[in-house]
Amino acid sequence: MSLIYAVVSNKGGAGKTTLATLLAGEYALDGRRVLMVDADGRQNLAGWWKLCHAKGNVPGNIEVTIAATRKAVAETIDRYRDAFDVILVDAAGVDSVLQTTIIRSSDVVLSPVQP
């Protein structure tokens, strides 16, 4: 069963995607299987993943998927809960019903802030 992280903030540009990728990298280096879920309509995480593939620099032990609706997030977590050690959900920078669903589905909630 996965440890599920929600990376949320009510502000765009707070560093959610950066925090999620760094945390995923640390778990992957430790040999854990990591699923990163891009739940942000801007899809910055998915864009980073495409760049990794384009540059031939795909991190091991990490997979990325997109789930930008409440239903998609819930289904993704249910589907992959037993297949990965860690699931990181990168949320959009707005307070929404989607963000509430992500938080309720998670074991740990991280919220980066800027001073």
40/1 Cα distance (integer angstroms): 24
- The answer to whether position 113 is within a domain reads no
- The answer to whether position 111 is within a domain reads no
pLDDT mean over 67-81: 93
pLDDT band with cut points at 50, 70 and 90 for residue 96: confident
Global pTM reads: 0.90
- The answer to whether position 114 is within a domain reads no
The answer to whether the CB of 92 falls within 8 A of the CB of 40 is: yes
**35-56 tens-digit pLDDT:** 999 998 888 889 889 998 999 9
- Give the structural domain span for 10: 3-105
- The answer to whether position 64 is within a domain reads yes
CA atoms within 13 A on the CB side of 76: 25
User: 61: which DSSP letter?
Assistant: T
- The answer to whether position 27 is within a domain reads yes
- The answer to whether position 32 is within a domain reads yes
- Give how many domains the chain has, as a whole number: 1
- The answer to whether position 68 is within a domain reads yes
37/75 Cα distance (integer angstroms): 11
pLDDT mean over 83-88: 97
- The answer to whether position 57 is within a domain reads yes
Please report, for the domain that includes residue 49, its CATH number.
Answer: 3.40.50.300
